[in-house]
Amino acid sequence: MSSIADPIAGSPVADAKAKAEAAKIRAAAPAITLPAAGERELRLDLFRGLALWLIFIDHLPANLLTWLTLRNYGFSDATEIFIFISGYTAAFVYGRAMLEAGFVIATARILRRVWQIYVAHVFLFTIFLAEISYVATSFENPLYTEEMGIMDFLKQPDVTIVQALLLRFRPVNMDVLPLYIVLMLFLPLILWLMKWKPDVTLGLSVLLYALTWQFDLYLSAYPNGFWAFNPFAWQLLFVFGAWCALGGARRMSRILSSPVTMWICIVYLVAAFFVTLTWYVPQLGHIMPKVIEQWMYPINKTDLDVLRFAHFLALAALTVRFLPRDWPGLKSPWLRPLILCGQHSLEIFCLGVFLAFAGHFVLAEVSGGAALHALISVSGILIMWGMAWIISWYKHSADKGASRTKSTVGNADLAGGGA
C-alpha cells in the first residue's frame, strides 16, 4: 500500500520515483530528435544564399565588392558556411527518413540525391569546358585554358574525361561539388552512427580529422596534386552540421547563451580581423610577434585549419545568439532574394560558376575600372536571384497543378462511386 507521503513534492519516495521514471523516459527516447515536420529554418536558407553570393564574388577577379566578402576579415570564408549548412540540412531531411523508414530506405533516398548532384556536376563540367574553349578559341587567347586549368583536357581529352567522371580532374572553381558528393556518400553511415550515439559519432569525426593532419591523408587529383578540399578534413564541418541538426545544437544551448562564450567569440574574431589586416597593410606586420607567426602560418584551407574551423564556430555562435529563429527580418522582402537562392542552392551554385568565368572574361578583355567590376558583380547576383525566382515559381506552379489534378481525379472517383 502506498504511503500518503508519496505524492507530496519533495519527499524522498516521490523524488526516487520521479528519478526512476525520468531514467526510463531517457532510456526509451531516441538518440536523435528532430523538429516537427514541415518546419523550415529560414536562417539556413538565408546564410546558404549569402554563401553562394560570396563564392561567386570571390571567384571573380579582385574588385570593389570583393572587400565585402568574409575572407578579407577573418580566417574562414563562404565555403565553411556552405559545407556546414549542407551537413545540417542533409541530416535534417534524411535523418527523419532514417528514423521513420529505416536505414535501407533512407540510404536509397540519399543515393538518389547523390546521383542528382553528380549529374549536375557532370553537366556543369561540360558547359564550363565549352564556355572556356569557345572564349579561348574565339579570342585566340590560350591563356584562358591554362588559367582555368583545362590545358590537360585539350591535350588528352579521352583520358581527362574519364578522370573527370571519377572526380579526379576539375577545372578551377569546380572543387566544392566533388567534396559535397563524397560527403553525401558517407551520410548513411553518419546518420546510422548518430542514431546510435551522436556524441561518439562526432568524436570519431574529430579523430579522423586529427589522423588526417598527423598522417597527411588526402585524395590525389589528376594530372597531379591533391583535392583542393580534402574530404578527410572537411568531413568534420559536415558531420558537425549534422550533429547540430540532430539535437547537438539544442544540447549546446546553455553554452551558446553564456556571456563567457559570447566574449570569447568576440575576442577571437577581433584578433582574427587584426591578423588578416596585416596581410593587406604590410606596415602593420611588425605588430605580429614572430613566435605567433611561426605557430600560426600557413593557415591551410585544403585541410581545414583549426584556426579556420574555430573562426567559423565563433561566427556561428554569435549568429545563433543574436539572430533568433523567429526574427521578423526573415520575412522581409529585402532578404527574400538571398533566401530564394539558398533554397535552390545546387542550381544557383552551378549558375554562379558559369557566371564567374563570364565575368572574368569580360574584365580581362575590357578595362572598365571599378565601375565595370561592380556592375558585373551586381549583374551576376541579379541573374542568380532571377533564376532562383523562376525555379521557385515553376515548382510552386507544378505543385499547384499536381494538387488540382489529384482533386479532379478524386472528384471523378466520388462521382463514379455515386453513380
For 220, phi and psi rounded to 5 degrees? -80, 155
Domain assignment present for 95: yes
Domain assignment present for 372: yes
- Burial (CB < 10 A; 0-12, 13-18, 19+), residue 143, is exposed
- Domain extent, residue 160, equals 34-325+334-343+352-391
Domain assignment present for 226: yes
DSSP string, 168-204: ----TT--HHHHHHHHHHTHHHHHHHHHH-HHHHHHH
Domain assignment present for 410: no
| Number of domains observed in the structure of the chain | 1
42-59 vs 345-365: helix crossing angle, rounded to 10 = 20
- 298: preceding bond cis by omega (within 30 degrees): yes
Buried b (16+ CB within 10 A) or exposed e, 266-299: eebbeebeebbeeeeeeeeeeeeeeeeeeeeeee
Domain assignment present for 167: yes
Domain assignment present for 318: yes
- Distance between CA atoms of 162 and 133, rounded to whole angstroms? 19
- Per the CB < 8 A criterion, the answer to whether 241 and 316 are in contact is no
Any residues with CB less than 8 A from the CB of 247 and at least 6 apart, and which?
32, 33, 198
- Distance between CA atoms of 248 and 242, rounded to whole angstroms? 9
Q: Which grid coordinates belong to 389? A: 525566382
Residue 241: closest CA among 180, 302, 154, 332:
180
Tens of pLDDT along the chain (419 residues) come to 333 333 334 444 445 555 555 445 444 444 555 555 556 789 999 999 999 999 999 999 877 788 889 999 999 999 999 999 999 999 999 998 998 899 999 999 999 999 999 999 999 999 999 999 899 888 888 888 888 888 888 888 899 999 999 999 999 999 999 999 999 999 999 999 999 899 999 999 999 999 999 999 999 999 889 999 999 999 999 999 999 999 999 999 999 999 999 999 999 999 999 999 998 888 887 788 888 888 999 999 999 999 999 999 999 999 999 999 989 999 999 999 999 999 999 999 999 999 999 998 888 888 767 888 889 999 999 999 999 999 999 988 877 766 666 555 445 444 454 43
Domain assignment present for 23: no
Domain assignment present for 13: no
DSSP string, 102-139: -HHHHHHHHHHHHHHHHHHHHHHHHHHHHHHHHHHHHT
Q: Which grid coordinates belong to 344? A: 535552390
Tell me which residue has cell 566533388. Answer: 178
